Amino acid sequence: MQKKISKYFYFSLCFAFFVFITLYLSDMIVSQLMHGFSYSNGAFSLNYVENTGAAFSILKDSREILIIASVVAICGIVAYIIRHISTISMRTLFFLAMLSAGIGGNLHERIALGFVRDYVELNFMEFPVFNISDIFINLGVIAIIITILLKKKL
């Protein structure tokens, strides 16, 4: 029982940390960009864009559908954790927290602002502008896929 409580606490702490990071850094970066700051190098530029869709602008102007999908995804992850907490590794909990926080960060902006604030643009390839929440989502998904492929416990 103590180990399960520790795992729930660890997941909650990681989730809160990642949500704080994504919301705080997004606010800071967007505020600086709105006040004339600019940054660019060979790898990426900071360029503010309001995104009313999901990745690659799919489901553009479908705010309600994206909000529902985000809530369902977070609830699904939490339900999975609750059902399998005794067999989930701490590393997997870390990445599930990262994934959930990324979804939650975009969900928060969609609800509060009506759009997601994107600002990272890759300079070395044609790719949509993205944000820190998107990075957390992608890192979380990739890490979980690698974990599954390596047959580690989820």
Q: Is 7 helix (H, G, I), strand (E, B) or coil?
A: helix
Catalytic residue among 118, 119, 120, 130: 118
Euclidean distance between CA atoms 117 and 52, whole angstroms: 9
Yes or no: say if 90 and 154 are a contact pair by the CB < 8 Å rule: no
DSSP state of 115: S
Backbone region of residue 59 per phi and psi (left: phi > 0; alpha: psi in -120 to 50; beta: other values):
left
**Structure tokens given for 18:** 């990642």
Catalytic residue among 96, 134, 136, 144: 134
Q: Is 61 a catalytic residue?
A: no
H or E, element range at 97: helix 90-113
**Structure tokens given for 34:** 């709105």
Q: How far apart are the first and last CA of the chain?
A: 19
Q: Is 118 a catalytic residue?
A: yes
In the block, which residue shows the tokens 């699904």? 76
Catalytic sites, residue numbers: 118, 134
